[in-house]
Structure 1
Amino acid sequence: MLPTFTQFASTLEGFAPLLLRGVWVTLQLALLSLLLGLAFGLIGAGAKLSRVRTLRVCAQLYTTLIRGVPDLLLMLFIFYGVQTGLSRLTQALGWAYIEIDPFAAGVLTLGFIYGAYFTETFRGSLLAVPRGQFQAAKALGMTFSQGFVHVIFPQMMRFALPGLGNNWMVLLKATALVSIIGLADLVKVAQLAGKSSQQLLAFLILAGLIYLLLSSISNAILRWLARRYGAGVQEASR
């Protein structure tokens, strides 16, 4: 049975600082994982479009493996499996015990997982940019990096934004997976607060509403980015 609003508000007041810290951990985790995932995605897309067969094969194995294994299993493997292997290695070499930080493990795992999805998004968006744009940048005397940053990247983002936006929304919700490795994110904090106050359902509903708020803010930012990167196309179509 759900508590009355007055009862829940009184309980919430005591747990508010803890919940705010949980929200902050979730945001940090999501944003850092996004940055790492984008880096993996750009590298993976470049490898898939490379003329070097070895790079193409490695990138294909990466995306196939990640998209075929559940996120939860990968999270458990990286945190517990790698920790076990690292412990055995340090023991064999006589080194001091090294413990993997749950936050670092969460960022690494989520960034690595969603980097595979970003790889396919970036690959498709790069292929959508007319090849003449690469040649035009080179004709203007730009280096490869200058041409990519000033000519290719803005056009690529126009095609990539829908896919990136969808993956970001899924990534934001996937941060809840870190609660299984003991990280005090929003979901973990809501569970602890709910069990301590015997109002678990109310706190879980509150956590869901906070995720909904974060998703709504993300949608507004994504719409702004879509207008920004589509400005030239919109002007040309008038």
Structure 2
Amino acid sequence: MVNYKSMSWYELLAIPLPDGGYLLDGLFVSLQVASLGYVLGLIIGMFAANAKRRGSLFVADLVTIYTTLIRSVPELVLILLVYFALPELINQLLSFFGAERIEIDKFAAGVLVITIVQGAYATEVIRGAMNAIPKGHIEAAESFGMHPFVTFYRITIPEMLPNALPGLSNLWLIATKDTALLAVVGFTELTLAARQAAGATKSYFLFLFAAGLLYLIVTLVSNIVFGYLEKRLNRGVKHA
């Protein structure tokens, strides 16, 4: 019988699970899903926020419907919809056309859910930051004949980032913690890895405490990185 209480933290984190995984592997997978979903969500948020501000009324209404629906539905429900309901709908359509059934990959489903959620929240964060940009700056760029895409890249993004960064840093932390919800569909991220290891060894406190510690480390490191970025972006900016 292994004495887990006498093991070092590194040995504790590296204890193999029944399926051959590790707590650190679970953390790595969680960060992969969170990173991909966060970046894709930012891309969606950038264009959706700009469309909501400067697009046609029809496009702005579509973005409003998207952000309202996603922010109203709990992430857990979205995960169940994407992993169970969406494949069922797709397979019914495929069966109608005589095609073979498909299965949704758990990793892809996780990234998709994080992307959808992050995109909705990032849209509102970025839109608020864009509204803080003086209209004269955009009008000046347009008066010089600058292409809208160039204006967005050279004027809008650099000026809105300092205002958006605090909200975006919070969204990153939300993304890392939302990956824990993927455990409900059997996706082996950090939380499920800790639960499996705790169940196999009956050392619930040690493994769950270790998982919580890893989440804390991610949060502290993230705060340092975003704090550094905020200082860099605000360098030379005068505040009233």
**TM-score, normalization by structure 1:** 0.91
* Structure-2 change in CA distance of 1:11 and 1:149 (3 Å): closer
Distance 2:158 2:229 in 1: 11
Count of residues in correspondence between the two structures: 234
Matches within 5 A, 1:100-179: 100-140=104-144, 142-179=146-183
Q: Which residue of 2 aligns with 1:32?
A: 36
Q: Is the 8 A contact 1:155 1:229 kept in 2?
A: no
Q: 1:193 aligns with which of 190, 197, 204?
A: 197
Counterpart contact for 2:14–2:23, Cα < 8 Å: no
Letter in 2 for 1:91: S
Change (3 A) 1:224 1:13: closer
Rounded Cα–Cα distance in structure 2 between residues aligned with 1:200 and 1:72: 24
CA distance in 1, matches of 2:15, 2:129: 48
2:51 and 2:60 in contact (8 A); partners too? yes
1:83–1:46 Cα change, 3 Å: same
Q: Indicate the percent of aligned positions where both proteins have the same amino acid.
A: 36
- Alpha-carbon shift at residue 92 of structure 1 (Å): 2.3
Relative distance call for 1:11 and 1:161 in structure 2 (3 A) is closer
Question: Partners of 2:232 and 2:7 in 1: how far apart?
Answer: 46
Partner of 1:5: 5
Distance 1:92 1:147 in 2: 47
Residue number in structure 2 paired with 1:15: 16
TM-score normalised to the size of structure 2?
A: 0.90
The structure-2 alpha-carbon separation of the partners of 1:216 and 1:12, relative to structure 1 and needing over 3 Å to count, comes to closer
Query: What residue identity is the alignment partner of 2:171?
Result: N
Q: Check the 8 A contact 1:11/1:197 in 2, yes or no.
A: no
| CA shift in 2, pair 1:12/1:38, >3 Å | closer
For residues 23 and 108 of structure 1, what CA distance do their matches in structure 2 show?
19
What is the CA RMSD across the aligned residues, in angstroms?
2.1
CA distances 1:145-177 after superposition (whole Å, capped 9, x unpaired) = 222222221110011011111111111111111
- Structure 2: gaps spanning 5 or more residues: none
Stretch of structure 1 that moved more, 136-145 or 100-109 = 136-145
Deviation at 1:141, TM superposition (A): 5.0
2:89 is the alignment partner of 1:85: yes
The CA distance in 2 between the partners of 1:7 and 1:51, in whole Å, is 59
Give the structure with the larger helix fraction: 1
